[in-house]
Amino acid sequence: MNKDHLQKHGSTMVEKILAAKAGQARVSPGDLVMIKVDLALGNDVTAPVAIREFERIGFKRVYNPDLIVLVPDHFTPNKDIASAEQVQIVRRFAEQHGIKHFYDVGRMGIEHALLPEKGLVWPGAVIIGADSHTCTYGALGAFATGVGSTDLAAAMAIGETWFKVPGTTRFEYHGFLPPWVSGKDLILYTIGKIGVEGARYQAMEFAGPVIDKLGIDGRMTMANMAIEAGAKCGYIQPDQITFDYLKDRVTRPYYPVYSDQDAVYAKTISYVVSDLEPQIAFPPSPDNVFPVSEAQNIVLDQVVIGSCTNGRIDDLRVAAAILKGKKVHPKTRLLVIPATQEIYGTALEEGLLKIFVDAEAAVSTPTCGPCLGGHMGILAKGEVALSTTNRNFVGRMGHPESEVYLCSPAVAAASAVAGRIVHPEEVI
Amino acid sequence: MILEGTVWVFGDNIDTDAIIAARYLSTIVPEELAEHLMEDIWPEFPRLIKPGDLIVAGSNFGCGSSREHAPLAIKGAGISCVVARSFARIFYRNAINIGLPILECEEGLDTLRSGMDRLQVDLGQGLVTNVQNGDIYHSAPFPPFMQELIERGGLVAYVKAKFGVKY
């Protein structure tokens, strides 16, 4: 990337990344740009459609196999014959085109936890993924956004895609995070305040003293759920916490990009969070958010800890700290799903998995599984789940008349013990 | 292109899980997906509609997952056009990319009755006409680049035409 492009004034991080890639001095919200992508991602649900469309384009070869990442994670390990056949399409395509970033069962993880871990995400990168939670990578200072399968097909063919430059809304978090309150609570609170279309077509810039202290896993949780406010992307500007995470993972040179002091924002919204309670999104929408103290007597059939939102090692550590020496409530089922093989291995070494098993939780190999009602924990009619995942739409985890509440890993672990939604302090 | 059909009316924030539930995503055949269109929020819906009908919706239609199966299911069901107050951005991209006609229209949608009223849509002019009372509403125009995508029949045709020669 040409660093000269990064010196212009009055622009946000996203505008500067897009301008640099477009070879322009600057871009403004609303501009349409056609730019090269650094990475294009697909999974077992979206890649088969992309492969079909790629074949319709009629190109013999992909633009550059090293720009393509394929991660079968939704219905894997395959839940049925149909899903096995979808993964087979992806596996064969990867072989045929020499795509080295294809991650199969046993070597994989949930895509948005896996890519940062594998060093495939760096500050200033432009990443598209045929999965809406691709916005996760903004936590590392990349411009990353979800697209559709045909977009992925075109990017595989020509290495480019089109974007409308988004306006940026800046969210500042002041004060300090109370005990048991996490990145998940910050993003749920934010979505609750602005609504599921509160940031539609916008970039969300997360900043302020609370974000400066937030760990990388909590940052990824926040950027991950930007889509739940309708945003094109969510991001946190790189700092020492980012660089410490990237060390030994990203070996290529990269140039961090920052919003100018005089950047023009569509809006700036500030929250003081020192008194924030853990937050719960009630069904059937991620913006239907209430503090945990208002979630009284909600009895739980199932609790899920995992997903691209909250299946990282910090999430498992906080859950294990609460579950250690306790048992899951006899009428509740707890599923714990480490998001990647690396996280699974670390949790094994640290003894976290033993704590979960002793607590009578089911521990699964990495998969998106129950988050989207795919497999591994589908709900029956009338059942109620509490989950660290990202969506609680009608029928999201199973039967259309089942219900999903969303929360942090701490609340999920504590509530699994109580058998109903509680503040972690109630079981500690 | 002028389209006319019976409308089926939906509210705000219709998410892609509602349009096509994840349990049906192990196929990519539009007609198979269409059998389950809107099933979780309106179980009879796939059997009520006729080819050429329109979906009318409130704001943020197609929010949530990026699954292109959602516009594919709508297209597979023979829906000719989706007219909404606004669309979620990935759904908007997907619909244009696969050649499913969509229009953003801020006014005139509130009084429409499902399965009874008809709309006529002039895609080129961006005009939406209420067939019952003759009222005409103007939709937001597409930027020229998207008009080109739409005229060429979607992103695949666009890429073929623009880049195909080089490969």
Question: pLDDT tens-digit profile of A173-203?
Answer: 999 999 999 999 999 999 999 999 999 999 9
User: ipTM score here?
Assistant: 0.94
Report the half-sphere exposure of A180 (CA within 13 A, side-chain side). 22
Please answer yes or no on whether A372 and B66 come within 8 Å at the CB atom: no
User: Which pLDDT band holds residue B147 (cuts at 50, 70, 90)?
Assistant: confident
Final residue belonging to a domain, choices A250, A276, A302: A276
Residues A227 and A116 in one domain: yes
Final residue belonging to a domain, choices A276, A300, A328: A276
Residues A300 and A246 in one domain: no
Which of B159, B160, B165, B167 to probe by mutation at the A interface, max A CB count within 10 Å? B159
Residues A251 and A356 in one domain: no
Q: Looking at residue A8, what is its pLDDT?
A: 52
- Write the pLDDT tens digit of every residue in A96-109: 999 999 999 999 99
Alpha-carbon distance of B84 to A70, in angstroms, equals 33
What is the b/e burial string over B144-155, where b = at least 16 CB atoms within 10 angstroms of the residue's CB?
eebeebbebebb
Residues A12 and A84 in one domain: yes
Residues A297 and A271 in one domain: no
- Write the pLDDT tens digit of every residue in A398-411: 999 999 999 999 99
Residues A41/A128, Cβ–Cβ less than 8 Å: yes
Residue ranges making up the domain that contains A209: 1-276
Residues A192 and A315 in one domain: no
Q: Looking at residue B165, what is its pLDDT?
A: 56
Alpha-carbon distance of A398 to B78, in angstroms, equals 27
Q: Which residue has the higher pLDDT, B126 or B34?
A: B34
A153: contact with B, CB 8 A cutoff: yes
To the nearest 10°, the Cα dihedral for A103, A107, A113, A117?
-100
Which strand ranges, in their side-by-side order, compose the sheet holding B81-84? B102-104, B81-84, B54-57, B2-9, B118-122, B127-130, B136-138
Contacts of A419 (CB under 8 A, 6+ apart): A299, A300, A329, A330, A331, A332
B63: contact with A, CB 8 A cutoff: yes
Question: How many domains are there within chain A?
Answer: 2
Residue A388: which CATH number? 3.30.499.10
- Write the pLDDT tens digit of every residue in B33-51: 999 999 999 999 999 999 9
- Write the pLDDT tens digit of every residue in A256-289: 999 999 999 999 999 999 999 999 999 999 999 9
Residues A44 and A129 in one domain: yes
Q: Which residues of B touch A158 (CB under 8 A)?
A: 159, 163
Residue B131 CB coordination number (10 Å): 14
A198: contact with B, CB 8 A cutoff: no
Residues A240 and A347 in one domain: no
User: Which pLDDT band holds residue A1 (cuts at 50, 70, 90)?
Assistant: very low
Residues A229 and A338 in one domain: no
Residues A354 and A244 in one domain: no
Q: Chain-wide mean pLDDT for chain B? A: 93
A147: contact with B, CB 8 A cutoff: yes
Q: Looking at residue A382, what is its pLDDT?
A: 98
Final residue belonging to a domain, choices A217, A244, A276: A276
- Closest to B13 (Cβ–Cβ): which among A48, A80, A285? A285
Alpha-carbon distance of A120 to A100, in angstroms, equals 12
| pTM, to two decimals | 0.96
Mean pLDDT of A78-95: 97
Residues B126/B16, Cβ–Cβ less than 8 Å: no
Residues A124 and A228 in one domain: yes
Residues A242/A213, Cβ–Cβ less than 8 Å: no
Residues A212 and A348 in one domain: no
User: Which pLDDT band holds residue B142 (cuts at 50, 70, 90)?
Assistant: confident
